[in-house]
Amino acid sequence: MASRRSIIPGFNITMGLTLSYLAAMVLLPLAALFVKTTTSTWQEFLQTVTSARVVASYRLSFLAAFAAASINAVFGFLVAWVLVRYNFPGKRIIDGLVDLPFALPTAVAGISLTAVYAPSGLFGKPLAALGIKSAFSPLGVVIALTFISLPFVVRTVQPILQNLEIENEEAAASLGAGRMQTFLRVLLPTVLPAVLTGFALSFARALGEYGSVVFISGNMPMKTEITPLLIMTKLEQFDYPGAAAVAVVMLAASFLILLATNLLQWWGKRRGIWV
């Protein structure tokens, strides 16, 4: 299987252990999911994954994840830009804090965002006065998903901006381009693959998120019930085939997004942007 690169030892043992552990820990359990769905007939499977309540949960999960990833594409780019190009007091602390959603357990994020956006909360109160319901509504789901997927775009765009050649912008300016024109015609095309990669990573993460959303969404069937919660509900009712069926649909969606992300990264590499 291997063509040894050199005299370095240990291929058989490290590869053997890696593959064994991977198979036992990841591949076998995931295979169990697909095998479980074969215990129900095709009709039962279709009926489960296309029932009204399940479809409503797809719509919410998909749209809320899309909205959160879009918010992060715009603001993540802005944050990366400001962190790379400008100096301001507290910049290093802000830079470190961007990773908070990766380090903070999702349950903590969930209860904290709920406290802030509940009708009596710091932001919930003024929003309620304006007639906007934030917690316990689809907007609450978007807020939670924006929080948990916030670092992705910042962290994919930041290194690209750092490695940009300033000369390109100076050349554009010396040829008479305005700053806005330079941004749209020179900078944006270069950074776009990174923004889209960050968007796809945010979207994938937001789609599967559970912990933060269950607290803030209110979990009303057909209204604020995300797909992972629906899987949880089916599990609690011991409807294992149903849970497995919905999980297979979600997993297929995640793999498609993963594929798209890899294609985006490949596109970025081909354009010689990734260093």
Partner 1 sequence: MSTIEDISSRGPRLSKAATEPALVRWALTALAVAFLAVFLIVPLAAVFIEAFDKGVSVYIAAITDPMALAAIRLTLLTAVIAVPVNTVFGVLAAWAITKFDFRGKSVLLALIDLPFSVSPVISGLIFILLFGASGFFGPFLAAHDIKIIFAVPGIVIATLFVTFPFVARELIPLMDAQGSDDEQAALALGAGGFQTFIRVTLPNIKWGLLYGVILCNARAMGEFGAVSVVSGHIRGLTNTVPLHVEILYNEYNFAAAFAVASLLTFLALVTLVAKAIVERKARAAMRAAASRRTSGGPHEH
For residues 179-218, which are near partner 1 according to CB under 8 A? Answer: 179, 182, 204, 207-211, 215
**How many other CB atoms sit within 10 Å of the CB of residue 201?**
22
Q: Name the amino acid, one letter, at 273.
A: I
By beta-carbon proximity to partner 1, the closer residue of 42 and 86 is 86
Tokens of residue 234, six digits: 């089916």
Please check whether residue 57 is in contact with residue 227, taking contact to mean a CB–CB distance below 8 angstroms: yes
Stretch that binds partner 1, among 40-48, 134-142, 244-252, 267-275 (CB under 8 A): 244-252
263 binds partner 1 (CB under 8 A): no
Q: Which amino acid is at 58?
A: Y
Residue 2 in the binding site for partner 1 (CB under 8 A): yes
CB 47 to partner 1: min, Å: 20
Within 50-109, which residues bind partner 1 (CB under 8 A)? 75, 78-79, 81-89, 92, 94, 96-109
Q: Which is nearer to partner 1, 105 or 272 (CB)?
A: 105
Contact with partner 1 (CB under 8 A): which of 69, 113, 135, 142?
113
Q: Which of 44, 28, 25, 61 is nearest to 245 (CA)?
A: 44
Q: Does 254 bind partner 1 (CB under 8 A)?
A: yes
C-beta separation of 106 from 211 below 8 A: yes
Identify which of 98, 118, 122, 120 has the alpha carbon closest to the alpha carbon of residue 110.
118
Q: Return the ∠ at Cα 216 (arms to 215 and 222), rounded to 5°.
A: 100
Alpha-carbon distances, residue 230 vs 12, 51, 62, 111, 208 (angstroms): 43, 12, 14, 20, 12
Judged by beta carbon, residue 137 or residue 212, the one nearer partner 1 is 212
Footprint (CB under 8 A) of partner 1, residues 125-184: 143, 146-147, 150, 162, 166, 169-170, 173-174, 179, 182
AA identity, residue 76 = G
The residue among 182, 148, 159 whose CA lies nearest residue 65 is 148
Of 49, 54, 153, 231, the one binding partner 1 (CB under 8 A) is: 231
Judged by CB under 8 A, the stretch of 13-21, 50-58, 131-139, 189-197 that binds partner 1 is 13-21
Binds partner 1 by CB under 8 A, chosen from 127, 128, 232, 273: 232
By the 10 Å C-beta count (0-12 exposed, 13-18 middle, 19+ buried), 260 is classed as middle
Specify the residue, 56 or 187, whose C-beta has the smaller distance to partner 1.
187
Does 225 help bind partner 1 (rule: CB under 8 A)? no
